[in-house]
A = this chain, B = another copy of it.
Amino acid sequence: MSSFPPLTNDLLLRAARQEPIPRTPVWMMRQAGRYLPEYQAVRSTHEFFDVVRTPALAAEVTLQPVERFPIDAAIIFSDILVIPQVLGLEVQMVKGKGPHFPDPLAEPADLSRLRTPDPATDLDYVLEALTLTRQRLNGRCPLIGFSGAPWTLMAYSIEGGGSKNFSASKRWLYRYPEASHELLQRITDTVIDYLDHQIQAGAQYVQVFDSWAGLLPQPLFETFALPYLAQIAEALTERHPDVPRVVFAKGAHYALDALADTDYSVISLDWTMDPAEARATVGSRAALQGNLDPSALYATPDDIRAQVRRMLDAFGPTGHIANLGHGMHPDHQPAHAGAFVDAVHAISEELRAADAPAGG
């Protein structure tokens, strides 16, 4: 493991540990991306996966929002579909359409097409990007690593891209439960190894994105998603107990209590979840991350501030990492993202001052 400059802002990590802190940290899912003109400039001369695979470019794009906004975390620029890629599936990024697998998994026999990857070598470009970014961050804020969750990666690998109902992948769960478990376990093993290496390479907080959790009824989530999510958190806790583990199970509103019983330190909430109810359900079992509706950034800066105030009030000052309930949109205005970040900082300090004992 390299030696890195000490952190001058560790609010993210302290919030994840539910420690008292002077203000609420904030970052945004997809904070490096198409809404930033400086990102568009890089993409004008480089394909999406070229940026992902070139550590200097990935680091540059990762740092763009850190240079522009006083945010409390950087998240490495990469893609959850690098795992299906190293498992042996081709993934293309089609402009205006999103990811496309020319030859997805169709039937259980196709599992024989998968190879057993070695993230240390197969995904060395992500690990190098993490190390380079961590150095270039120079301690300004923590660096976040991430992976797709097993069910979400299974869904893409079978569906071959976005889909209305993800019916092909759900069909596997109902029709081929054993093959589904085999695929999920293979993905899980790779994800654990990958995130382990990400932490060794410099990631200080790791998030698992189960973007399609909400496609599953609760019994299916508990059979095919939760056990693999839990395995990941458990293995990482054993190897890196001090690195917060974060789970974002989008749409799985029924899963909060079960996720709080796993080894995740932080549960990230989508915009449909009520912060106060989530806090009541989770208690002190995990910190909470989220969850302003990304579309709220279309509002005026004054309205954004009013919404941030409601959000911070509802989550309370301890164990909350401010974020959106999903990623930035390509047509968001950077100034509105800035208004969001500034509002979290200013209002969370103001609320703490108001709560402090007189003369304290």
Contact = CB atoms under 8 A, between A and B. Distances in A.
A174 B218 contact: no
Contacts of A170: 293, 295, 298
Contact of A331 (B167, B293, B325): B167
A325 B170 CA distance: 14
Interface in A313-360: 325-326, 329, 331
A274 B218 contact: yes
A31 to B, nearest CB: 16
A272 B167 contact: no
A217 B294 contact: no
Nearest to A271: B217
Given A254-B274, A272-B214, A293-B217, A329 B175 contact: no
A10 B133 CA distance: 67
A165 to B, nearest CB: 6
A271 B219 CA distance: 10
Nearest to A167: B329
A272 B274 CA distance: 17
A246 to B, nearest CB: 21
A175 B325 CA distance: 19
Interface in A274-289: 274
A123 interface: no
Contacts of A174: 295-296, 298-299, 303
A104 interface: no
B325 A217 contact: yes
Nearest to A175: B298
Interface string A121-143: 00000000000000000000000
Contacts of A299: 174-175
Given A171-B295, A254-B273, 20 more contacts: A165-B326, A167-B294, A170-B295, A170-B298, A173-B295, A174-B299, A174-B303, A175-B298, A175-B299, A175-B300, A214-B272, A216-B272, A217-B272, A217-B293, A218-B274, A220-B293, A251-B251, A253-B253, A253-B254, A253-B272
25 contacts: A165-B329, A167-B294, A167-B295, A167-B329, A167-B331, A170-B298, A171-B295, A171-B298, A174-B295, A174-B296, A175-B299, A175-B300, A214-B251, A214-B272, A217-B272, A217-B325, A218-B272, A218-B274, A251-B272, A252-B272, A253-B254, A253-B272, A254-B272, A254-B273, A254-B274
Interface of A: 162, 164-165, 167, 170-171, 173-175, 214, 216-220, 251-254, 271-274, 293-296, 298-300, 303, 310, 325-326, 329, 331
